[in-house]
Amino acid sequence: MNNQKKIIIVAGEESGDMYASKIINDFSKENNIKFYGMGSNKMKETKATLLLDSSNLSVVGFFEILKIYPRLLKALNYMKRSIQDINPDLLILIDYQEFNMKLAKYAKSNGIKVLFYISPQVWAWRENRIKNIKNYIDIMAVIFPFEKKFYENAGIKSYYVGHPLIQDNLYQKNYSNKKDFIGFFPGSRFSEVKNHLPIVNRVIESMNNKNKKYKFLISRSRNINISIYEKYFSNKDYVSIVSNENIYETIDLCKVAVAASGTITLQIALKKIPLCVFYKLSNATYFLVKFLIKTKFISLINIVLGKKVVQEFIQSDASTENIEEEIKKLISDNKYRENLKNGISSIEKVLENNDSKIDMKEVIKKSL
């Protein structure tokens, strides 16, 4: 078709891949739009032409990025060539800030319109990047209500499209009434899982040594080889390794949860499962981050609600003793648990904010 519009959509992480696949599927009945993409498992299930598999490109931390820099550079150059060859009518970039901002700069230099979805969190840190966003991004599609005003004040065209977790309604389904497990959600990036599994293992061993009745669940990212998890838990009948293919079904098996900071914390909160949050970076990366970050919190729950609702255990605070104590408190202290559940239940209302909201599909059509 001569009048067929071409869109390249780029997602470098598991959550972004999920959001990209939703966008592509929303246009599945419209034959006048052709999607090309960089993504992983979810995007492979859509009608988009997959240009590049991003399964092995997800990493967090300055120094961690250096370890896979040749791989990232190869992927970046490949996507630049793809942009040049396809000459899309629109480039949609989802999160994955460092990589995608470089692609945005390249696309703008070639006269291609750029839509950024899932905003770079410059309101949390590195606000000096706002200049680059203004230069390279035509339109911001933001998922939190406060972000729209932030970008508009900076002179950047933005639309509030709401959070995709709310829009799919999957969290509202009850998958299980038997909440037997203490659930651990160590992250979706290889570097996160590698840093977090030793912590998780120590907590599980400590709790199991004191009480054999506990049952534990480890949520496994489909993008990470199961052997990484089996290294710690393969011979332990009190630990179940569960694929996160249906993350809400996994969450519904848990009576309490311990989660790495990220989208997963919002998903657990939407299911109203009591939780605490932990995170461990390399010491060098953490040293840099603590001087750059502006927010008081690292958990999206606390950031969105503007107050401390869930406990956060970062770096040395992510100790066996601290996490174990919090888990036991969440299990045994009824008043504490109910207060926390009441606190996290307000996440749904905040994310459901419909004031001046526009559908993401409509934003894309406006951008073409």
Structural domains present in the chain = 5-162+353-367 (3.40.50.2000), 170-351 (3.40.50.2000)
DSSP string of 187-226? -SSHHHHHHHHHHHHHHHHHHHHH-TT--EEEEE-TTS-T
pLDDT for the residue 290: 64
CA dihedral 153, 159, 162, 167 (to 10 degrees): -170
> Quick one: tokens of 185?
């959600």
CA 275 → CA 35, 48, 221, 249, 327, distances in Å? 38, 36, 19, 16, 8
pLDDT the model gives residue 124 = 54
Q: Which residues of the chain have pLDDT under 70?
A: 1-2, 58-67, 121-128, 283-295
In the numeric block, which tokens belong to residue 62? Answer: 């300055």
pTM of the model: 0.86
CB 64 within 8 A of CB 282: yes
> What is the distance between the alpha carbons of residues 50 and 47, in angstroms, rounded to a whole number?
9
Q: What is the pLDDT of residue 298?
A: 86
Question: In this predicted structure, what is the pLDDT of residue 237?
Answer: 96
Alpha carbon separation from 75 to 45, 57, 66, 85, 301 (Å, rounded): 21, 8, 14, 15, 32
